[in-house]
Amino acid sequence: MTYAYYQSVIRGEEMPLGLVDLDIFEENIRQILLRAKGTRIRVATKSVRCVSLLRRLLDADANIQGLMCYTAREAVWLSEQGFDDLLVAYPTYHLEQIRAVAQAVKRGVSIYLMVDKVEHLTQIQQVGKEENVVLPVCLDVDVSTKFPFLHFGVYRSSIRSKNDVVAFVEQVKSCPNIRLAGLMGYEAQIAGIVDNMKGQGVKNAIIRFLKRRSIPKIVALRKAAVKYLESQGIKLDFVNGGGTGSVESTIQEEVVTEVTVGSGFYTSTLFDNYRAFRHLPAFIYAVEVVRNPEPNIFTCLGGGYVASGPAGIDKVPRPHLPEGGKLISHEMAGEVQTPVKYKEDMGLNLGDPIFFRHAKAGELCEHFNEICLVSSGKIERKVKTYRGEGKVFL
């Protein structure tokens, strides 16, 4: 879509504002379903953070089922909004948060708590016993790859081998109020590391090589873990893997029943740099030009929404429309002002918008109470983000 299109759509609206182009959002859904080739997709809520759009995703296709939440409190709150099949992606240790999950499970909701340490089991077993309920858990297996002098992946689970799985299962067997119901292995080194960054040919080649070397090890560990659980008579509800960046490789594994996708639906700037796929930017935000300090430099009010992760230029928001805008290197995107430089006269005036893209998907929702849903050249309606619902989970 063009600058003129979006400028017309938001004319008269107060800025800053976030907007999701539903026409693009729906196209991204279609493309991701094609990539998944019939494998079930679990939606990562962290990358969406909007109840209305979570509903839209789950209603879009029968192969999109279940949510991956990022905290237990979030999962409980979403269950109160009518959602079910909720996997909590990170361990929960606080007893009262586990208790809230236990009470939801007693009401008939499926919420799976993530575990990888005996201490997690101890806490969950205590609450399960007190609440007289059996709590389903998901075992998180670390599928990072160790190379000489390099940990390729992220530091997540302490379960790193089949032997670790065997020892952990013995601990689970001693917990009558816990049911091992799922297994997850998130290959962050495949899903979350870009391999087609412009101007970095050598680095891209190295990353692709490391990815190729990693995938067989990921497949072997996940398969060994699942086969062992099956040999112990443990029937899993799901085996989860992957992310937006690894759909093609994850769905090849015979033991994987679902792949997680989140960021691909919005498509933030970090997802422009993968060789295997390309989705379209559905979630953008507009900030207002309030200064014109020099010819072709336009200073916007606010807009400095920097993403989490290793500090770097790739975590900074990017001017999107009008095309050709660049941030000023010694100012970048600021909390109160963001100057944008163009090489030529863009015809911008005070009060006009400049549209930006965020480096990550759902994090942008932390800056807006509502999102404008745009379709066919107009704002269809406005919907609340988590923040607009008064919810901040981390």
107-132 tens-digit pLDDT? 999 999 999 999 999 999 999 999 99
Q: Which domain holds residue 312?
A: 283-385
CA 74 to chain centre: 14
153-191 residue pLDDT tens? 899 899 999 999 999 999 999 999 999 999 999 998 988
Residues 253 and 299 in one domain: no
pLDDT at 308 over 90: yes
**Residue 12, in any domain of the structure:** no
Residue 159: phi and psi, rounded to 5, are: -90, 105
> Burial code of 260-283, b = ≥16 C-beta within 10 A, e = fewer?
bbbbbbbbbbbbbbbeeeebebbb
Domain end marker among 231, 266, 301: 266
**pLDDT value of residue 204:** 83
Residues 214 and 257 in one domain: yes
**Residue 218, in any domain of the structure:** yes
Strands 326-327, 378-384: pairing kind: unpaired
20-41 residue pLDDT tens? 999 999 999 999 999 999 999 9
CB atoms within 10 A of CB 321: 21
- Here the tokens at position 330 are 């010694």
**Residue 272, in any domain of the structure:** no
Residues 185 and 95 in one domain: yes
CB 47 within 8 A of CB 265: yes
**Residue 248, in any domain of the structure:** yes
Q: What residue has token string 């067997």?
A: 173
C-alpha to C-alpha distance for 31 and 341, rounded to whole angstroms: 34
**Residue 11, in any domain of the structure:** no
Residues 259 and 304 in one domain: no
Q: What residue has token string 């599928």?
A: 143
Residues 102 and 197 in one domain: yes
**pLDDT value of residue 206:** 86
**Residue 392, in any domain of the structure:** no
Residues 98 and 175 in one domain: yes
The CA R_g of the chain, rounded to the nearest whole Å, is 22
**Beta strands per DSSP E along 304-377:** 318-321, 326-327, 337-341, 353-357, 370-375
- Here the tokens at position 197 are 């960054």
C-alpha to C-alpha distance for 315 and 304, rounded to whole angstroms: 11
Residues 50 and 196 in one domain: yes
Residue 52: phi and psi, rounded to 5, are: -60, -45
Residues 138 and 178 in one domain: yes
Report the CATH number at residue 151: 3.20.20.10
Percent of the chain at pLDDT > 70 equals 100
**Residue 5, in any domain of the structure:** no
Residues 168 and 51 in one domain: yes
CB 69 within 8 A of CB 88: yes
- 285 — pLDDT class (breaks 50, 70, 90): very high
Domain end marker among 234, 266, 298: 266
pLDDT at 369 over 90: yes
Report the CATH number at residue 324: 2.40.37.20
> Burial code of 352-385, b = ≥16 C-beta within 10 A, e = fewer?
bbbbbbbbbbbbbbebbebbbbbbeeeeeebbbb
- Here the tokens at position 241 are 């893997």
Domain end marker among 216, 237, 266: 266
Residues 220 and 128 in one domain: yes
**pLDDT value of residue 188:** 87
pLDDT at 58 over 90: yes
C-alpha to C-alpha distance for 164 and 176, rounded to whole angstroms: 21
Query: pTM for this structure?
Result: 0.94
Lowest mean pLDDT of 32-46, 50-64, 199-213, 264-278, name the range.
Answer: 199-213
C-alpha to C-alpha distance for 48 and 66, rounded to whole angstroms: 14
**pLDDT value of residue 372:** 98
pLDDT at 274 over 90: no
Residues 245 and 354 in one domain: no
**pLDDT value of residue 341:** 97
336-352 residue pLDDT tens? 999 999 999 899 999 99
**Residue 246, in any domain of the structure:** yes
In total, how many domains does the chain have?
2
Residues 255 and 303 in one domain: no
**pLDDT value of residue 261:** 97
pLDDT at 317 over 90: yes
pLDDT at 387 over 90: yes
Residue 306: phi and psi, rounded to 5, are: -90, 140
